[in-house]
Chain A
Amino acid sequence: MDRLSIEKRLDGQKELLSGLVKKAKSNGIDQVEIYSSYGYSEDVSLEKNDLNNCTATEENMFGIRVIAEGNQGFIISNHIPSLYQSIEEAYSLAKSQSTPDFDLGLPEPESIPNHFNQYDLSLDTMGIEDLVATAKEALGWRNDLYSKVNIDSGDFSLSKGYKLIVSSKGVMAHELGAELSASVMGMGVDGDLVGSFDYDSASGFNKDQFHTLWKKAFTNFGDKCMGALYAKPISGFQGKVLLPPEAVYSFFLGLFIGSLNGTSLRKGKSKMAGKLEEKVASSLLSIWDDPTNERFMGSTGFDREGLPTSKKPILTEGVLHTYFYNTYEAKKAGLIKSNGCATGGAQSLPGCGPKQLQIAPGSSSKEEFFKLPGKTLFVNRISGTKDGASGDFSGVIKGGYVLENGEKIPVREVQIVGNAFDTLNQIEAISKEGELLGESSFVPYMLLDGFTITGVTEN
């Protein structure tokens, strides 16, 4: 599958979907939106330190949204010949409801200033043979450098495709994309000793970029597995935790960002309601959303509703500036239009959220965090649970260390409990250095204070 054939398919589909929308309108179905997501991918998987499977998949999914008399019906299908019947089914689903809300409506089109066709021609000629070669190289790294690390599973993928949105209001937007990605999951094993699971991944939009990032990710994975292999239980203590970028993003930040979702706010489930332009976090913390940076993977010119995206501040030195809205939630909040923050794809109704979060670097050196006096818990990953409404989180630390007197002591069977909203004010320092997660979001290290750390051994 090359760029030309994908473009040809896209052109044909624009025509097909426009025709279907026109037909629906002429039959009295006034508000129809079709979101098409096409992907062709080739994958090579690893299992048990060996190659496992080679696959080739191709699929076109369509998310069809119909709004009729204040009610909405949504159909997801991968069957092109019956798309018009799906429009009728979505219409019928909408008509069967008895609780209309006339704030529901498809958005009017807006011009899209940024177009991101992230399809690099270096991926055009690549295929499954290249993926097999990359997999072979990774198995070689494992054998040469990390013989005590067992690869439980791994995946190498080359995917190409497009997204396209067409609506009866005149919205029409599309973007092409191609991506190379790889991930690996496994653990250290030494005789009867088994370490915690760990994983790492890399992705890129061109061949050279991908290979550099993948080698770094694999080395990181191997080091983390080896570090966790000789972990020991510890006794509990009160103190500081150090979060690397992945942990900052996946756990601590997720709850806060979720609380800025227009739907959560409207339903009274967000602790951030009514806090615009108030200080809600440490002055050290500044966050913005930037889906318009061409250097980032996943940058996009339009959102799930086909409206333009933009760069916007979220927190500046702890002061909250914005919430995230799709068209419906914006209207419910009394705004004229959305702020281009509709999330999702063909398989979901438009949600609300950011596209590419960026966290401002701090002024501390990451290395200083590892040499702090007293005890600090380095949280590689939290396997746990979190509650969006209360902000409470708790979990087991995976691949973690206690940092004490310049030593890194790998630990297991350690839990932490906290609250994401309180944690925003527990930030003691942010590092200058950070990582570009998924090649799209810059996230630094964070040092937090005031945590209860539960261990399994007696004090």
Chain B
Amino acid sequence: MRNLLKECLAEESGFVELRYHHKESRSFHAERGRVESTALRKRTGIGVRVLEAGTWGFASTSEITKSSIQNAIQVAKKAARLSSALRKDKIPNLPKANFAIGDFIGKGIEDFRTRTVEEKLKLVLDIQNAAAKQSAKLQSVGCGYSEIYEEKAIVTTDGADSFFSMVRPEFRVSAVAKEDGKMESGSHSIGVTGGWDCLFRSQSATEISEEACKTAVDLLSSVLPDGGLSTVILSPSIVGLLVHEAIGHTVEADFVLSGSVAQGKIGQRVGSDLVTLCDSGFSEYYEGAGGSIPVDDEGLLPTNTVIIKNGILTSYLHNRETAERFGVAPTGSARAWEYGDVPLIRMRNTFLVPGDSSLEEMIANTKDGYYLDGAKNGQADATGEFMFAVQKAYRIQNGKITDLLKGVTVSGLAFDVLQNVDMVSKEFKWDLGSGHCGKGQPAKVDAGGPYVRTKVLLGGK
């Protein structure tokens, strides 16, 4: 494929980027004692991006032939020329970059290829059947396995030349419990970049299922917490949501240029000394983080970017264009979801660096607060105001965990929450590898960290 792409670029003079992308997604879902759905999605094509007359032009084609690709290059060039007269702030030349050259074959691909459809179907069916027997209160339990295999080749006229592949499996269980007309749901999921063994390394499929079912049943007897500003201990999944939503989005350089709250704050204190925050294309601490990428979608080798070091904002996340505008090196953060999507600045694996405390010490040191566990969804705003939803909130009174309460929405201002971090645990976990981040287009990301104590606004009664 790289050779075909290079052939298409042979006579091009300006900047042209060709990105071949083949993606296969398989999903299997079982519920109420049977396989409810099996689906295979295959999508292949080439995204063409050109920089001409200071403006981007983009076109895509699902026909993988030299003539179709060359036609798409011409369409993209025409689009760029048409818009050039209107674009006020012309795009500067792209900076030199640490291009990926060669083949980068991801781990676990062989594993994904050799396991049969029957084996994957048996997994979801067996787990679903066992889960449904856990409690008479369980109304419905759904169990799903999915995997995304993708391969890409990226070639540019200024030197990128790589092929890479990866596989990302996910496993999820969702349960609904019912009692006296009341219904509650619980879910638990896991997602990694790697093979099957990597997926179930920290928790077996049965354990994942038991956790989801227990949450649904336990929540039947829960009530809402009191609303208001509260001291909270966040589990690694919630820390992941916090650093992704509250900080990560505000430091994406395209968002910074639009006026996010992080604009102009490089070198300033934005968090307590205990806060060191990174976003990395690799999987630090242990392998398998769901947002790992061998090459970004501009053909660059990704970095481990330190965003905040001991409370001081040190870097934004960049693509080639914003790196040139800020006069820094690109961080390898450009990503596209499908071949027909333009690469955007996206997070990869976002994490808080562990500290010195233990979770036990943190709970024992909390007189009045909540322990929040089980990440749901979240969103961030230009103001730095974020919200994330949690499944479960446990009351902490006089250093001990007491009642389970319904999880609700938690919100705050990003940098206020970081400034209020006063305890960080030694333990570390990647815990946001399933699901997707949205920003015009989806992206597989992961996030995590240690247990963290801070203050947030808790919605409640």
CA distance A454 to B224 in the complex (A): 13
Task: Name which residue of chain B comes closest to A135, CB basis.
Answer: B86
Q: Which of A47, A396, A417 contacts B385 (CB 8 A)?
A: A396
Are B257 and A196 in touch, CB under 8 angstroms? no
Residue B440 is within 8 A (CB to CB) of chain A in the complex: yes
Are B460 and A50 in touch, CB under 8 angstroms? no
Residue A295 is within 8 A (CB to CB) of chain B in the complex: no
Q: What's the minimum C-beta distance from A339 to chain B, rounded to whole angstroms?
A: 21
Residue B349 is within 8 A (CB to CB) of chain A in the complex: no
Known contacts A48-B258, A417-B408: does B87 contact A96 (CB below 8 Å)? no
Q: What residues on A are CB-neighbors of B57 within 8 Å?
A: 53-55
Residue A277 is within 8 A (CB to CB) of chain B in the complex: no
Q: What residues on A are CB-neighbors of B409 within 8 Å?
A: 384-385, 394-396, 415, 417
CA distance A421 to B31 in the complex (A): 25
Residue A416 is within 8 A (CB to CB) of chain B in the complex: yes
Please provide the chain A residues from 24 to 79 with a CB less than 8 Å away from any CB of chain B in the complex: 42, 44-45, 47-48, 50-61, 71-79
Q: Which of A59, A90, A268, A413 contacts B411 (CB 8 A)?
A: A413
Q: What's the minimum C-beta distance from A205 to chain B, rounded to whole angstroms?
A: 24
Known contacts A57-B340, A150-B258, A456-B457: does B377 contact A385 (CB below 8 Å)? yes
Q: What residues on B are CB-neighbors of A45 within 8 Å?
A: 342
Known contacts A72-B38, A413-B385: does B62 contact A59 (CB below 8 Å)? yes
Please provide the chain A residues from 193 to 217 with a CB less than 8 Å away from any CB of chain B in the complex: 194-197
Residue A108 is within 8 A (CB to CB) of chain B in the complex: no
Residue A124 is within 8 A (CB to CB) of chain B in the complex: no
Q: What residues on A are CB-neighbors of B460 within 8 Å?
A: 417, 452, 454
Residue B35 is within 8 A (CB to CB) of chain A in the complex: yes
Q: What's the minimum C-beta distance from A52 to chain B, rounded to whole angstroms?
A: 7
B residues contacting the other copy or chain, number (CB 8 A): 82
Are B382 and A196 in touch, CB under 8 angstroms? yes
Classify the secondary structure of A's interface with B.
strand
Q: What's the minimum C-beta distance from A413 to chain B, rounded to whole angstroms?
A: 6
Q: What's the minimum C-beta distance from A269 to chain B, rounded to whole angstroms?
A: 5
Known contacts A48-B258, A396-B387: does B83 contact A389 (CB below 8 Å)? no
Q: What residues on A are CB-neighbors of B61 within 8 Å?
A: 58
Could you tell me which B residues sit within 8 Å of A by CB distance?
30-35, 37-45, 55-62, 75-76, 79-80, 82-83, 86-89, 117-118, 121, 125, 139-140, 142, 176, 178, 181-185, 224, 227-229, 254-255, 257-261, 340, 342, 376-377, 379, 381-385, 387, 389, 406, 408-409, 411-413, 440, 457-461
Listed by A's residue number, 27 A-B pairs whose Cβ atoms lie within 8 Å are A51-B55, A51-B86, A51-B87, A52-B56, A53-B55, A54-B55, A54-B57, A54-B82, A56-B76, A59-B60, A74-B37, A79-B62, A94-B38, A96-B121, A99-B30, A128-B79, A194-B383, A194-B384, A268-B176, A271-B183, A389-B176, A394-B409, A395-B409, A396-B387, A396-B411, A415-B457, A454-B460
Could you tell me which A residues sit within 8 Å of B by CB distance?
42, 44-45, 47-48, 50-61, 71-79, 86, 89-90, 93-94, 96-101, 128-129, 132, 135-136, 139, 150-153, 186-187, 189, 194-197, 236, 267-269, 271, 347, 349, 383-385, 387-392, 394-396, 398, 412-413, 415-417, 452, 454, 456
